């Protein structure tokens, strides 16, 4: 049993830092196992005269410390595992410290570490404190100058801002040490600091901003990979242009750099002028990257770039305000992607992701508000709630206030808070001031966890031609929040008639009470109500829509989101009905029929059709029942897929043939949409694996001319299982074993194998020579691919899947707590599962909690999960 109880950090305890750090000068003597960091801080007191100077610092070997050049004696300061405290300091002074650190021993990938023989850093949220002593908090902004010195094995020496000077240190010396000095003119918090050093290839371009300044753009990648950075560079230029047009935001330095590294805990990081990317979100070539990779690269490159204004120029006062930068920046990247790739398709994909990750989180013990008010480790709050739900809140502001006022409010925000570290309150105040509306009710969205349930009932009076729509809302209690308030929920509603003709265009109804009724006059015919168009609020909507009316919507709703949603709702009911022992065979055939009609609709776009063809995932389905029986859901879903595959076999095969494209590869949305539809056909055909279909799927895999088709074929074969799957996996491995990013996909495809005995094969893969738990991409491919992507096997009745996950969490926690903690979530949902499974999940959580030496990161999540 653990005895130490770590203390949480609370929003209500916020105090400003009592000193200003006007300038920060860092000098790095790089060495993989013994790097020296000398920091010179010019400090001014801004708070009380009695306050000591307390700096954060962890795992640092202090070499020396001096104030205004005078070395500190032992009684002038105190050093513990997390701080350097200097008891008495003048009101203005220069502090110099020197420390030694060991980047090569840093497997947590926070602070300064080595990846592929290169130095790189990750400082958000609290990594800077493992580089030097500093007030490592986002509200301390300082002007950084960085001098980096290394030997010739590290030709590029990069940091934030503009390059001031560089060259050889002493050309007479045999080790040919060289140096570079960088200066960042924009004051920034330490979490935005970055340093990269090593051998790299660079792809260069430039961008002329709206005011006519030329910005040099450089993307640095592993030697030999430069051609694979071209797509990211192109996306960057489009993002820069878009941010000028959509938000009036111009880039502010003369240089913008991106570096790709293989070992990275998250996706990417917005360090000022020097973004660092997980290579999986930067490198792309048709042979090695799927369309989904291209799509994510485009959106993440944009996301990190957009942070330059929403995050860097205006940052967060404290980490409780994380959504201030993340929710807003996700909204901006989603809007960008919608403009690049089509609004409806983008919206559907974003909502799918929101439901899969955020709704699941909000429905379990890890539910937390978009602005939490306490944490043990801030690393644990880089969640779908902060990011994706945070973005939904911004979207609702736009829906409620209208595009014009929304833009005016953001203009005001940029003008008012540029150069500051601010709060969500200050942000919302800009919307109130620009619109003249009281936004205090809206704030509850930031403070209240849980997904509201909204229900809609209607009454149509045929003679009076009036329609009454009654909306009600409620939010179930979540951990620590037993009582919930009513929230302002914008519900976009339009009306169709029974033939699918438009009766009324969209209108936004604001539900801001537990219940409210609106009355529409002059509704000429009995309406089909299309509500929550575009998913206008992050809620679970239930309606009194009849099944026939869903088919009207599925065929004709002009709101494509709701057209898709109607199909998903029907499919969900069919699968869950069968899983509960009440199959509806007629309904299944009818659904397959309707899908068939949608497929031959020439007016709709292939990317959209591909989305129509994909059934709700098992994760999605499991959110709609209580308790969850994963095996029953899996079997019922497989059944519905098979029904569709049989019913539409000829059509699917014909489409699959027609959509085959020869000619040159294009990564654009149109071409990707066709590939998506063709792969969706392949996926369905695999659900009816008779010889003709299997042969077609094998052909799909073997003739693939790009990674999208190769993975589509491989996944379909893995789902079928047997000898053709084995053969394909072996061939794929042989072809790609020297390409880490592709090999990740090979692991992920097997992790999702739904077949009997898959757990044994997956376990065996952890001993495969290519498996490396130290690399987060490889680890997640296998472990998260399994725990989140393979519910049928993860929830194996013996508990073997849960045990496997717990073993992995414990192993990784020994060196990378941040990444280990991100694996906990699937176990956290234990209360929603049938009792036999729930108990087994719980057992593993308890086993993890009892583990000696467990990190705070994992401890926080398992404790909350068991609460």
Q: Which residues are catalytic?
A: 304
Show the DSSP H helices in 526-605 as ranges: 547-556, 560-579, 585-599
Segment 163 to 192, residues that bind ligand PHE, using CB under 6 A? none
Rounded Cα distance, 417 and 438, in Å:
20
Segment 248 to 267, residues that bind Zn ion, using CB under 5 A? none
What residues have CB less than 8 Å from 514, skipping those under 6 apart? 472, 473, 474, 486
Segment 323 to 382, residues that bind Zn ion, using CB under 5 A? 326, 329
- Tell me which residue has tokens 């795992």: 59
Site string for ligand PHE, 261-290 (x = CB under 6 A): ----xx-xxx--------------------
Among 298, 326, 629, 796, binds ligand PHE (CB under 6 A): 326
- Tell me which residue has tokens 């807003």: 328
Q: Which among Zn ion, ligand PHE, none contacts residue 382 (Cβ within 5 to 8 A by kind)?
A: ligand PHE
Rounded Cα distance, 99 and 514, in Å:
58
Nearer of residues 378 and 811 to ligand PHE, judged by Cβ: 378
Options 212-220, 255-263, 321-329, 397-405: segment touching Zn ion (CB under 5 A): 321-329
Instruction: Output the residue with the shortest Cβ distance to ligand PHE.
Output: 266
Nearer of residues 382 and 564 to Zn ion, judged by Cβ: 382
Minimum CB distance to Zn ion, residue 300 (Å):
9
Distance from the Cα of residue 356 to its chain's centroid: 12
- What is the three-class DSSP state of 184? strand
Nearer of residues 142 and 329 to Zn ion, judged by Cβ: 329
Q: Which among ligand PHE, Zn ion, none contacts residue 122 (Cβ within 5 to 8 A by kind)?
A: ligand PHE
Q: How many CB atoms lie within 10 A of CB 388?
A: 26
- Tell me which residue has tokens 């989101």: 561
Minimum CB distance to ligand PHE, residue 365 (Å):
23
Nearer of residues 329 and 451 to Zn ion, judged by Cβ: 329
Rounded Cα distance, 338 and 864, in Å:
36
Nearer of residues 97 and 275 to ligand PHE, judged by Cβ: 275
Segment 539 to 598, residues that bind ligand PHE, using CB under 6 A? none
Q: Are 19 and 139 in contact (CB under 8 A)?
A: no
Q: Which among ligand PHE, Zn ion, none contacts residue 266 (Cβ within 5 to 8 A by kind)?
A: ligand PHE
Kindly report the CA angle at 636 between 694 and 806, in degrees rounded to 5? Answer: 90
Rounded Cα distance, 395 and 532, in Å:
13
Nearer of residues 281 and 289 to ligand PHE, judged by Cβ: 281
Rounded Cα distance, 539 and 858, in Å:
29
Nearer of residues 301 and 704 to Zn ion, judged by Cβ: 301
Minimum CB distance to ligand PHE, residue 124 (Å):
4
| Using rule CB under 6 A, residue 136 touches ligand PHE | no
- Count of positions on this chain that bind ligand PHE (CB under 6 A): 11
Rounded Cα distance, 257 and 218, in Å:
5
Minimum CB distance to ligand PHE, residue 660 (Å):
37
Site string for ligand PHE, 294-323 (x = CB under 6 A): ---------xx-------------------
Minimum CB distance to ligand PHE, residue 197 (Å):
19
Q: How many CB atoms lie within 10 A of CB 316?
A: 24
Pick left, alpha or beta for residue 756 (phi over 0 → left; psi -120 to 50 → alpha; otherwise beta). Answer: beta
Rounded Cα distance, 784 and 456, in Å:
37
CA distances from 321 to 369, 370, 426, 451 (A): 11, 9, 11, 20
Rounded Cα distance, 135 and 112, in Å:
17
Nearer of residues 326 and 620 to Zn ion, judged by Cβ: 326
Tokens found for residue 57 = 């610092």
Q: Angle formed by the axes of helices 343-353 and 560-579, to 10°?
A: 40
Minimum CB distance to ligand PHE, residue 534 (Å):
24
Q: How many CB atoms lie within 10 A of CB 168?
A: 12
Segment 103 to 122, residues that bind ligand PHE, using CB under 6 A? 122
Q: Are 753 and 788 in contact (CB under 8 A)?
A: no
Minimum CB distance to ligand PHE, residue 67 (Å):
33
Minimum CB distance to ligand PHE, residue 390 (Å):
11
Segment 86 to 105, residues that bind ligand PHE, using CB under 6 A? none
Q: Which among ligand PHE, Zn ion, none contacts residue 371 (Cβ within 5 to 8 A by kind)?
A: none
Minimum CB distance to ligand PHE, residue 266 (Å):
4
Q: Are 34 and 151 in contact (CB under 8 A)?
A: no
Environment class of 807 (CB within 10 Å of its CB; exposed 0-12, middle 13-18, buried 19+): middle
Q: Is the dihedral of CA 697, 703, 705, 711 positive or negative?
A: positive
Nearer of residues 301 and 430 to ligand PHE, judged by Cβ: 301
Nearer of residues 25 and 391 to ligand PHE, judged by Cβ: 391
Rounded Cα distance, 694 and 615, in Å:
21
Q: Which among ligand PHE, Zn ion, none contacts residue 629 (Cβ within 5 to 8 A by kind)?
A: none
Q: Which residues pair with 472 in a beta bridge?
A: 455, 515
Rounded Cα distance, 241 and 79, in Å:
49
Q: Which among ligand PHE, Zn ion, none contacts residue 269 (Cβ within 5 to 8 A by kind)?
A: ligand PHE
Among 31, 98, 124, 825, binds ligand PHE (CB under 6 A): 124
Nearer of residues 290 and 329 to Zn ion, judged by Cβ: 329
Options 28-36, 260-268, 461-469, 479-487: segment touching ligand PHE (CB under 6 A): 260-268
Closest CA to 863 of 450, 365, 499: 365
What residues have CB less than 8 Å from 683, skipping those under 6 apart? 613, 614, 712, 715, 716, 719
Q: Are 500 and 554 in contact (CB under 8 A)?
A: no
Q: Which among ligand PHE, Zn ion, none contacts residue 545 (Cβ within 5 to 8 A by kind)?
A: none
Minimum CB distance to ligand PHE, residue 819 (Å):
11
Rounded Cα distance, 94 and 70, in Å:
10
Nearer of residues 195 and 531 to ligand PHE, judged by Cβ: 195
DSSP readout, 212-274?
S-EEEEEEEESTT-GGGGHHHHHHHHHHHHHHHHHH-----SSEEEEEEES--SSSEE--TTE
Provide the terminal-to-terminal Cα distance of the chain, rounded to the nearest Å: 16
Among 113, 319, 382, 564, binds ligand PHE (CB under 6 A): 382
Nearer of residues 392 and 588 to ligand PHE, judged by Cβ: 392
Site string for ligand PHE, 456-495 (x = CB under 6 A): ----------------------------------------
Run of H or E residues at 533: none
Residues near ligand PHE (CB under 6 A): 122, 124, 265-266, 268-270, 303-304, 326, 382
Residues near Zn ion (CB under 5 A): 326, 329
């Amino acid at each position: 049993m653990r005895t130490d109880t770590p203390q949480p950090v609370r929003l209500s305890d916020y105090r400003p830092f009592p000193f200003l750090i006007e300038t920060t000068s860092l000098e790095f003597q790089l060495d993989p196992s013994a790097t020296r960091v000398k920091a010179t801080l010019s400090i001014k007191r801004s708070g009380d005269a009695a306050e000591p100077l307390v700096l954060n610092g962890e795992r640092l070997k202090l070499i020396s410390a001096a104030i205004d050049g005078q070395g500190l004696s032992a009684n002038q300061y105190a050093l513990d595992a997390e701080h350097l405290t200097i008891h008495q300091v003048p009101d203005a002074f220069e502090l110099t410290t020197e420390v030694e650190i060991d980047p090569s021993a840093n497997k947590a990938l926070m602070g300064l570490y080595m990846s592929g023989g290169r130095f790189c850093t990750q400082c958000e949220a609290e990594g800077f404190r493992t580089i030097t002593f500093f007030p490592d908090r986002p509200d301390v902004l300082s002007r950084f100058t960085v001098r980096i010195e290394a030997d010739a094995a590290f030709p590029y020496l990069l940091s934030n801002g503009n390059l001031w000077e560089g060259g050889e240190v002493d050309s007479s010396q045999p080790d040919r040490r060289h140096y570079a000095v960088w200066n960042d003119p924009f004051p920034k918090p330490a979490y935005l600091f970055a340093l990269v050093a090593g051998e790299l290839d660079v792809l260069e371009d430039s961008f002329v901003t709206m005011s006519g300044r030329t910005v040099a753009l450089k993307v640095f990648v592993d030697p030999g990979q430069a051609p694979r950075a071209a797509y990211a560079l192109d996306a960057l230029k489009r993002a820069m242009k878009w941010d000028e047009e959509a938000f009036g935001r111009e880039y502010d330095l003369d240089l913008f750099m991106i570096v790709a590294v293989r070992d990275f805990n998250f996706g990417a990081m917005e360090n000022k002028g020097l973004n660092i990317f997980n290579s999986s979100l930067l490198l792309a070539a048709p042979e090695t990257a799927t369309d989904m990779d291209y799509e994510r690269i485009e959106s993440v490159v944009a996301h990190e770039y957009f942070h330059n204004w929403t995050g860097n120029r205006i940052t967060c006062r404290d980490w409780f305000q994380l959504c201030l930068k993340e929710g807003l920046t996700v909204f901006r990247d989603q809007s960008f992607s919608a403009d690049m790739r089509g609004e409806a398709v983008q919206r559907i994909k974003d909502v799918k992701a929101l439901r899969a990750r955020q709704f699941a989180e909000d429905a379990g013990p890890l539910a937390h508000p978009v602005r939490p008010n306490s944490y043990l480790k801030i690393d644990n709050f880089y969640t779908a709630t902060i990011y994706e739900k945070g973005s939904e809140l911004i979207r609702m502001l736009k829906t409620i206030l209208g595009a014009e006022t929304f833009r005016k409010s953001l203009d005001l925000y940029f003008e008012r808070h540029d150069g500051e570290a601010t709060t969500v309150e200050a942000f919302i105040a800009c919307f109130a001031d620009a619109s003249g509306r009281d936004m205090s009710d809206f704030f509850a969205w930031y403070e209240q966890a849980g997904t509201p349930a909204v229900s809609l009932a209607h009454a149509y009076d045929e003679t009076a031609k009036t329609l009454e729509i009654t909306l009600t809302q409620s939010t179930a209690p979540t951990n620590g929040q037993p009582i919930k308030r009513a929230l302002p929920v914008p519900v976009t509603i339009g009306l169709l008639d029974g033939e699918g003709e438009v009766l009324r265009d969209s209108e936004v109804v604001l539900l801001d009470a537990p219940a409210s009724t609106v009355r529409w006059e002059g509704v000429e015919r009995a309406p089909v109500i299309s509500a929550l168009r575009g998913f206008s609020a992050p809620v679970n909507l239930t309606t009194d829509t009849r099944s026939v009316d869903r088919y009207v919507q599925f065929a004709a709703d002009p709101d494509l989101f709701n057209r898709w949603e109607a199909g998903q709702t029907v499919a969900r009911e069919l699968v869950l009905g069968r899983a509960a022992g009440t199959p509806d065979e007629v309904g299944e055939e009818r659904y397959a029929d309707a899908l068939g009609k949608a497929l031959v609709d020439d007016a709709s776009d292939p990317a959209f059709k591909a989305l129509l063809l994909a059934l709700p995932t098992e994760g999605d389905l499991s959110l709609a029942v209580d308790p969850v029986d994963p095996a029953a859901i899996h079997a019922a879903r497989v059944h519905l897929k098979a029904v569709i595959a049989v019913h539409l076999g000829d059509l699917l095969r014909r489409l699959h043939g027609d959509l085959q494209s020869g000619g040159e590869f294009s990564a654009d949305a149109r071409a990707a949409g066709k590939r998506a539809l063709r792969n969706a056909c392949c996926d369905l055909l695999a659900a009816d694996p008779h010889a003709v279909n299997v042969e077609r799927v094998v052909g799909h895999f073997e003739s693939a001319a790009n990674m999208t088709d190769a993975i589509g074929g491989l996944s379909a074969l893995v789902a079928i299982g047997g000898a053709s799957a084995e053969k394909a996996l072996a061939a794929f491995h042989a072809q790609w074993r020297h390409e880490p990013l592709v090999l990740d996909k090979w692991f992920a495809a097997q992790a999702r194998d739904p077949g009997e005995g898959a757990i044994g094969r997956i376990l065996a893969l952890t001993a495969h020579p290519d498996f490396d738990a130290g690399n987060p991409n490889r680890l997640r491919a296998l472990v998260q691919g399994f725990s989140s992507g393979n519910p049928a096997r993860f929830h194996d009745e013996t508990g073997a899947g849960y045990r496997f996950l717990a073993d992995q969490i414990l192993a990784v926690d020994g060196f990378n707590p941040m990444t280990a903690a991100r694996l906990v979530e699937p176990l956290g949902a234990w209360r929603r599962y049938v009792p036999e499974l729930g108990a087994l999940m719980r057992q593993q959580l308890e086993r993890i909690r009892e583990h000696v030496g467990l990190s705070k990161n994992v401890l926080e999540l398992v404790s909350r999960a068991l609460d």
